[in-house]
Amino acid sequence: MGKVAVGATVVCAAAVCAASVYIVRRRMQSSGKWARVIEILRVLEEDCATPIGKLRQVADAMTVEMHAGLASEGGSKLKMLISYVDNLPSGEEHGFFYALDLGGTNFRVMRVLLGGKQGRVVKQEAKEVSIPPHLMTSGSDELFNFIAEALANFVATEGEDFHLPEGRQRELGFTFSFPVKQTSLSSGTLIKWTKGFSIEDTVGQDVVGALVKAMERVGLDMNVTALVNDTVGTLAGGRYYNPDVVAAVILGTGTNAAYVERAHAIPKWHGLLPKSGEMVINMEWGNFRSSHLPLTEYDHLLDFDSLNPGEQILEKIISGMYLGEILRRVLLKMADEAAFFGDSVPPKLRIPFIIRTPNMSAMHSDTSPDLKVVGSKLKDILEVPTTSLKMRKVVVSLCDIIACRGARLSAAGIYGILKKLGRDAPKDGETQKSVIAMDGGLFEHYTQFSECMESSLKELLGDEASDSVEVIHSNDGSGVGAALLAASHSQYLDDSQTS
């Protein structure tokens, strides 16, 4: 019995020893893995750093590219497109105007009743229409016939409030959110379809002409007064309510900026100088790139894997389409190299764009003591059943690094526009106010992003200059903004009804 007992004791002691060695090793491994997590986090923070000096370099590079893009076609990564909008709304406009907003699988038709300075937007009505999938790949006539019929049906529901004076044509602002080469205020040729549309016979054609012919086919008498981009529409909407608006920025799924330029400062403009002396420029700033942009390994890979490598670099690091995807790529590296989610990588984490920016915003905004929202989002999206508090804290840190870089670079872009306009510093004896009209879900709903952007803009401007710069939310540029541009460029402007 004694021998057995001794043997058992020896075996038991050996087992205990092996178990404790295993535990120590696991702890060492786990502390080694955690160190790797922290290292990945540290490198990301360094690579995304946007100290004020770097932001100034980015703003200066933006200003240089703006000058180059205005000097000649193709002279810059910034297209600096001439919008032909030389008469922004003043608030004096009267009458009623239509808008058509085509930018995806749905389109909106809208009418807006304007009552001058006192009434402003007296009334607006809108209807959203889904485009049947087969029309997105059929012929040009079929698509535009469908749109014209929906517009005619909407016109047929005009109430008593929307009274058209005798002998006048209805007027429409057409927001067309696809790449177009604008040839006048009310004409532009389609460069290419995006967003799932593929209608070959429209490419290279005037999209306003296609709409007008379709309206004629359904017996609708309406003048397309303005073909507009949603960013230019946001600028129009902002200026309608505030005469100090000088630029508009969209921060949503994508990003863009438009601003009011002095017409004589556009060397590539060869037409007559407009009476107003001004011209709205659609920058297409998502395509900006510079050696001063703080790019990471994740950005380079995301760009390489995208449908348009080498293009839209600024958009890929600041817009809502991509912020959540950058977060996914960092988490995947942590899972692969440091077993962040345990011994196996969650299969869902390998799916591109599975983490959407609204989910990132919800995690970033989590103020609960145990970061409950972060835990539930990781469970819902990635099917990770449990996460520790320190893991959740890492996720919040990642959100902060990625969002703040985007927000600070957005601020640098705005500062670059203000520099181009000579509005980045106070002028002796002058009290010029500069207002930036903002729109887009990222700006509107991601609080940490918009707050970081605004504080960074103040930091760049300094106390004195920042007192004269204001950022405001200007909603629905693609709808109301388009109708306002139809009003400010109306063929009846000399008529007392619209002046």
Tens-digit pLDDT profile for residues 255-294:
999 999 999 999 999 888 898 999 999 999 999 999 999 9
Percentage above 90 pLDDT, the chain: 74
Each residue's pLDDT tens digit, 465-487: 999 999 999 877 788 999 999 99
CA–CA separation, 490 vs 499, rounded Å? Answer: 9
Residue 9 has pLDDT above 60, yes or no: no
**Does 230 qualify as catalytic in the annotation?**
yes
CATH level 3 topology of 83-227: Nucleotidyltransferase; domain 5 (3.30.420)
Provide the whole-model pTM.
Answer: 0.87
Mean pLDDT of 46-57: 98
The domain spans of the chain are: 50-81+242-474, 83-227
Q: Which of 117, 192, 195, 427 is catalytic?
A: 195
Confidence band (pLDDT; 50, 70, 90) for 140? very high
Give the angle subtended at the CA of 49 by the CAs of 43 and 52, to the nearest 5°: 160
Mean pLDDT of 163-184: 89
Length of the chain: 499
CATH architecture for residues 50-81+242-474: 3-Layer(aba) Sandwich (3.40)
Percentage above 70 pLDDT, the chain: 93
Going by C-alpha positions, the residue among 469, 419, 495, 443 that lies closest to residue 64 is: 419
Residue 25 has pLDDT above 80, yes or no: no
Residue 366 has pLDDT above 50, yes or no: yes
Each residue's pLDDT tens digit, 426-454: 877 677 899 999 999 999 999 999 999 99
Each residue's pLDDT tens digit, 385-428: 999 999 999 999 999 999 999 999 999 999 999 999 999 988 77
pLDDT averaged over every residue in the chain: 90
Q: Which of 230, 299, 303, 439 is catalytic?
A: 230
**Does 195 qualify as catalytic in the annotation?**
yes
Each residue's pLDDT tens digit, 177-195: 888 888 999 999 998 888 7
